[in-house]
Chains A and B, each alone.
Chain A
């Protein structure tokens, strides 16, 4: 029942939030933070309960018939990948709630929408029924609209609309594809485990695979349909950016891993070349565009495009190393971007500008707040000692081995990502201290808490990558073995 509990915790918090009067904003924030802490604990419980060496691929399974005549069941379960992602979401949820401690505008609704988003994301990560998977997927996407449009900044309404329409267009591709899988199998079930046991004809797989891949790919920030993501990142408020780049984009990649590949292995094998090429574009192109951005959040936004390219590249290698690296990168990038946005949010909330040229020598004025950003930046450059290093390493190793051209191009992209990160560090945090920012307040212990949690996670998995890799190993092996 623990998986249901993970979904129900934010749901309960949502009801509680709706009941608390709006003026009591501290209580509302506390409810969310508490729910975050509880989900972290539950995710940790799942982590320890999950046996990566067991032969059962999906564990902690719960199943209730939901619409029996239509083959829909409330069917939850996790494999190693699901466990890792659940933990990621719990961490980002908790730190995101803590990062919004200073929010004053329409607090109640903010947290209500955020909790809805979190429910959707948890639901996706633990669903084994295709219907519920898609159901939660949509639940997760929609709250982004009000979250960005109300609490955002910088062309927020445009960004919110753009994001929603892009993602819904992605869903429009998924809708017919998922339903056609249901009918094509003839099994009268949306149970993904059962469906993945069915062997679809190769021609059919090749036909339908791109719809699912691109449908989910939109959310994963796939080139060339990534346009919503930087704009959305920039416009979103801190915690939403955190959840958005940190977790929501992972839903896309997770969808590919959970739905597209196990169900349509021949499709994956057929299409992996072109999609790997697009993923390489993601990496190199994203980094290049980031090089020309002056807004902090745009830089991070495009760096996300670049980093998600690494995930997609790894996935398309169809090898254990590549996919394992990709999954690990989903986790590492999630935590890292959360840290990025959390760090930027802290500075923006005070300075009300994000133009890197307007800053300078921030490390002097706010050394600790700057250190948070710098650490995230180092992580983004793929410096060892942080989780993302290992993830990228595995993906690159797999890519150079499997598709040397894309692999080498992707590795060369590392130089560009160093360039754009260093550019930001140089302009904003180093150089002569701009006296304009004399009055900036540095973080208090309470502000530092969420950021410190994220850094601790990055370093923990950077030093002991085996923690995560052992967890996902058998799941990834099963996944890669199926193709």
Chain B
């Protein structure tokens, strides 16, 4: 069935790419250049196919289990584009063990396939399997680090991830037990019909597992250590592709929830995340750790959209997920260039970046402004939509807290700006951006500026996608 194949195209492309990379890596003298090129091509193709199928609808292969619609394809487009960005900056992997450099793209591709399936899954087991597929890729990716700290980070990541998987699975079993089906459609119907406490607990437990991906408080503990210990590019992947995938699946679940208590819970988690993430980030000097805490805070902002329990809220979440992914890629273009010696970039090592590479400094500046939500970057619009969604539910004080948290966040963002633009470079080396680095960076930069000034196209897609949920 060619139509079905086409609809499954992006996943197939990445799977194919993964296969090629696998074959190339078991060759006698594997070349990391070759596997990198293959992965790049595959991700490009995936982008193309996602675009091609953006407005298609259907259920390839297994009706009721796998769904292709604007929601899934928009997210797949985002996932593949972000993957592209990550691979573009992964040509050199200084912080990956030399022996594993050839294999690294494989895990990225496989994990992304998992993400893509995750956003299309409409059946709980499929969802769970996809989730695990994407997670295993990541576990290994984190473990590829050449540093001892990397193994420690990976161990924590795996253990924490395994726990959360277990919780999810337990929740899933409870849900299956009450609903008698693993179909999300049936589940949704059951949720509407009435709130069986056991079902609610099951939902909650499943959710907990998903929130782990988002690094929402209290499931965030892994993030700072994993970000710090993992290779730069793998962190870029976690911060962009993996985050967007999580945003998608949480959106699908959130759309099913009936509101009420869960909204209150979301709000509590949102406030806790914003507060903890932003406050803890104040004390960081390791930039990857800083980004990790800022990610916790951003999970809190995203939660505002989920807590709104509305189409606007979900659209805002999708929109913000895309923007956040792009800004992460943008930031890691610079951070990975800075960390070319394998060390983690710090406030110290970024000092005087402006003199060492004006373009890199500009990219980092835009990335930071996006994260901080300052116009004319899309981060501003993203926050505007998220906050608007919360206010639509009359959450005036919640938005006030969120806005205040953003003000606190500005302090540490500006510390980075200060280091880049004000501190003297002293004898730190120039920072060279390779062609592919620049390509990824400029694309991301263009993306956040363009949608910062003219958000309508992306916003409308996000709105249409959100309308298909629930």
Chains A and B in contact, CB within 8 Å: yes
Q: Which residues of A contact B (CB under 8 A)?
A: 66-70, 131, 135-136, 138-139, 142, 145-146, 149-150, 157, 161, 164-165, 168-169, 171-173, 175-176, 179-180, 182-183, 211
Q: Which residues of A contact B384 (CB under 8 A)?
A: 131, 179
Q: Which residues of A contact B394 (CB under 8 A)?
A: 180, 183
Q: Which of A164, A165, A173, A175 contacts B387 (CB 8 A)?
A: A175
In the complex, whether B369 has a CB less than 8 A from a CB of chain A is yes
Knowing A146-B417, A150-B421, the reply to whether A176 touches B400 (Cβ < 8 A) is yes
* Nearest B residue (CB) for A174: B403
In the complex, whether B450 has a CB less than 8 A from a CB of chain A is no
Q: Which 7 A-B pairs have the closest CB atoms?
A: A172-B403, A176-B399, A175-B403, A179-B391, A67-B456, A168-B407, A176-B400
Q: Which of B391, B397, B414, B456 contacts A164 (CB 8 A)?
A: B414
Which B residues from 392 to 450 make CB contacts under 8 A with A? Answer: 392, 394, 396-397, 399-400, 403-404, 406-407, 410-411, 414, 417-418, 421-422
Knowing A131-B384, A179-B399, the reply to whether A139 touches B375 (Cβ < 8 A) is yes
Bound-state CA distance A150–B396 (Å) is 37
Bound-state CA distance A164–B412 (Å) is 12
Please determine whether B422 and A149 come into contact, CB atoms closer than 8 angstroms.
yes
Bound-state CA distance A182–B396 (Å) is 12
A165, A168, A182 — most chain B CB neighbours (10 Å): A168
Given known contacts A180-B391, A180-B399, what 6 new A-B pairs fall within 8 Å (CB)? A142-B369, A168-B406, A171-B407, A173-B403, A183-B394, A211-B400
Please determine whether A157 and B407 come into contact, CB atoms closer than 8 angstroms.
no
Q: Which of A69, A145, A176 contacts B391 (CB 8 A)?
A: A176
In the complex, whether B454 has a CB less than 8 A from a CB of chain A is yes
In the complex, whether B48 has a CB less than 8 A from a CB of chain A is no
Which B residues from 184 to 215 make CB contacts under 8 A with A? Answer: none
Q: Which of B388, B400, B403, B411 contacts A182 (CB 8 A)?
A: B388
Q: Which residues of B contact A182 (CB under 8 A)?
A: 388, 391
Knowing A131-B384, A135-B375, A139-B375, the reply to whether A157 touches B422 (Cβ < 8 A) is yes
Bound-state CA distance A169–B403 (Å) is 8
Q: Which residues of B contact A157 (CB under 8 A)?
A: 418, 422
Q: Which residues of A contact B421 (CB under 8 A)?
A: 146, 149-150
Between A and B, 29 residue pairs with Cβ closer than 8 Å are A66-B456, A67-B456, A67-B459, A69-B459, A69-B460, A131-B384, A135-B375, A138-B375, A138-B380, A139-B376, A142-B369, A146-B417, A150-B421, A150-B422, A164-B410, A165-B410, A168-B407, A173-B400, A173-B403, A176-B387, A176-B391, A176-B399, A176-B403, A179-B384, A179-B388, A179-B391, A180-B391, A183-B388, A183-B392
| B16 CB, min distance to chain A CBs, angstroms | 38
Q: Which residues of B contact A67 (CB under 8 A)?
A: 455-456, 459-460
Number of B interface residues in the complex (CB < 8 A) = 33
Please determine whether B414 and A145 come into contact, CB atoms closer than 8 angstroms.
yes
Please determine whether A175 and B399 come into contact, CB atoms closer than 8 angstroms.
yes
Q: Which residues of A contact B396 (CB under 8 A)?
A: 176, 180
| B460 CB, min distance to chain A CBs, angstroms | 6
In the complex, whether B336 has a CB less than 8 A from a CB of chain A is no
Q: Which residues of B contact A (CB under 8 A)?
A: 369, 374-376, 380, 384-385, 387-388, 391-392, 394, 396-397, 399-400, 403-404, 406-407, 410-411, 414, 417-418, 421-422, 454-456, 459-460, 463
Dominant secondary structure at the B interface: helix
Q: Which residues of B contact A136 (CB under 8 A)?
A: 375
| B372 CB, min distance to chain A CBs, angstroms | 9
Please determine whether B410 and A69 come into contact, CB atoms closer than 8 angstroms.
no
Q: Which residues of A contact B399 (CB under 8 A)?
A: 175-176, 179-180
Q: Which residues of B contact A173 (CB under 8 A)?
A: 400, 403
| B176 CB, min distance to chain A CBs, angstroms | 38
B375, B406, B411 — most chain A CB neighbours (10 Å): B375
Knowing A139-B376, A146-B421, A176-B399, the reply to whether A165 touches B411 (Cβ < 8 A) is yes
Q: Which of B397, B406, B418, B455 contacts A172 (CB 8 A)?
A: B406
| A156 CB, min distance to chain B CBs, angstroms | 9
| A69 CB, min distance to chain B CBs, angstroms | 6
Bound-state CA distance A131–B454 (Å) is 12
Q: Which of B392, B400, B418 contacts A149 (CB 8 A)?
A: B418
Bound-state CA distance A176–B396 (Å) is 6
Bound-state CA distance A66–B453 (Å) is 9
Knowing A168-B407, A180-B391, the reply to whether A69 touches B463 (Cβ < 8 A) is yes
Knowing A131-B384, A179-B387, the reply to whether A172 touches B400 (Cβ < 8 A) is yes
| A160 CB, min distance to chain B CBs, angstroms | 8
| A136 CB, min distance to chain B CBs, angstroms | 8
Please determine whether B369 and A165 come into contact, CB atoms closer than 8 angstroms.
no
Q: Which residues of A contact B407 (CB under 8 A)?
A: 165, 168-169, 171-172
Q: Which residues of A contact B385 (CB under 8 A)?
A: 70
Q: Which residues of B contact A164 (CB under 8 A)?
A: 410, 414
Bound-state CA distance A161–B410 (Å) is 9
Q: Which residues of B contact A70 (CB under 8 A)?
A: 385, 388, 459
Q: Which residues of B contact A172 (CB under 8 A)?
A: 400, 403-404, 406-407
Q: Which of B374, B414, B454, B460 contacts A161 (CB 8 A)?
A: B414
* Nearest A residue (CB) for B369: A142
Bound-state CA distance A69–B399 (Å) is 22
* Nearest A residue (CB) for B454: A66
Bound-state CA distance A467–B375 (Å) is 36
| B468 CB, min distance to chain A CBs, angstroms | 15
| A181 CB, min distance to chain B CBs, angstroms | 9
* Nearest B residue (CB) for A138: B375
Bound-state CA distance A95–B414 (Å) is 30
* Nearest A residue (CB) for B397: A176
Bound-state CA distance A131–B463 (Å) is 19
| A445 CB, min distance to chain B CBs, angstroms | 35
Bound-state CA distance A459–B396 (Å) is 47
Q: Which residues of B contact A69 (CB under 8 A)?
A: 456, 459-460, 463
Bound-state CA distance A150–B404 (Å) is 26
Q: Which residues of B contact A171 (CB under 8 A)?
A: 403, 407
Q: Which residues of B contact A179 (CB under 8 A)?
A: 384, 387-388, 391, 399
| B127 CB, min distance to chain A CBs, angstroms | 30
* Nearest A residue (CB) for B373: A138
Bound-state CA distance A161–B415 (Å) is 9
Bound-state CA distance A100–B192 (Å) is 66
Q: Which residues of A contact B414 (CB under 8 A)?
A: 145, 161, 164
Bound-state CA distance A175–B397 (Å) is 11
| A177 CB, min distance to chain B CBs, angstroms | 8
| B313 CB, min distance to chain A CBs, angstroms | 13
* Nearest B residue (CB) for A140: B375
| B18 CB, min distance to chain A CBs, angstroms | 38
* Nearest A residue (CB) for B400: A176
* Nearest B residue (CB) for A137: B375
| A162 CB, min distance to chain B CBs, angstroms | 11
Bound-state CA distance A135–B375 (Å) is 6
* Nearest B residue (CB) for A211: B400
